[in-house]
Amino acid sequence: MAQDQSMKTMRLYDQVERILNELHHLGIDEDAPLSVEDLTPFDQYHYHGTQAVDEAAHLLGATPQTEILEIGSGIGGPARHMANATSCKVTAVELQPDLSTLAEQLTGRCGLADRVEHLCGNALDKPLGDRTFDAIMSFLVFLHIPARAELFSVCHSLLKPGGSIVIEDYIKLGEPSDKQAEDLRVKVQCPYVPDMETYRQHLLDAGFVSVEIEDMSASWTAFTGERLAAYEARREHNVKVNGEDLTDGLHDFYATTAGLFADGVIGGVRILARRD
Ligand SMILES: C[S@@+](CC[C@H](N)C(=O)[O-])C[C@H]1O[C@@H](n2cnc3c(N)ncnc32)[C@H](O)[C@@H]1O
So what's the pLDDT on residue 1? 42
- pLDDT value of residue 5: 72
What is the pLDDT at residue 2? 44
* 175 found inside a domain: no
What is the domain-level CATH number for residue 97? Answer: 3.40.50.150
Question: Which mutation among 15, 53, 95 tests ligand 1's pocket best, with the greatest number of atoms within 8 A of CB?
Answer: 95
Ligand 1 contact via 78 beta carbon (within 6 Å): yes
- pLDDT in the model for residue 242: 96
Residue 255 lies in a domain: no
How many structural domains is the chain composed of? Answer: 1
**Rounded to the nearest whole angstrom, what is the distance from the C-alpha of residue 26 to the centroid of ligand 1?**
27
CB 132 within 8 A of CB 69: no
Q: How far apart are CA 108 and CA 93, in angstroms?
A: 16
> Is 69 contained in some domain?
yes
Residue 258 is assigned to a structural domain of this protein = no
pLDDT for 4: 57
pLDDT in tens, 122-165: 999 988 999 999 999 999 999 999 999 999 999 999 999 999 99
Note if the pTM is more than 0.75: yes
pLDDT value for 208:
98
Task: Mark the ranges of the chain whose per-residue pLDDT is less than 50.
Answer: 1-3
Question: Which residues contact residue 156 at a Cβ distance below 8 angstroms, ignoring those fewer than 6 apart?
Answer: 206, 207, 208, 275
Q: Around Cβ 59, how many Cβ atoms within 10 Å? A: 18
DSSP 177: P
pLDDT reported for residue 144: 98
Tell me if residue 21 falls in helix, strand or coil. helix
Q: Has residue 256 been placed in a domain? A: no
Ligand 1 centroid to 8 CA: how many Å? 12
| Domain interval for residue 153 | 6-169+191-217+267-275
Does residue 155 lie in a domain region? Answer: yes
Distance 75 CA to ligand 1 centre (A): 9
Q: Does residue 208 sit within a domain? A: yes
DSSP 3-state of 270: strand
Bridge partners (DSSP) of residue 215 are 269
- Please check whether residue 1 lies inside any domain of the structure: no
Predicted pLDDT of residue 122: 97
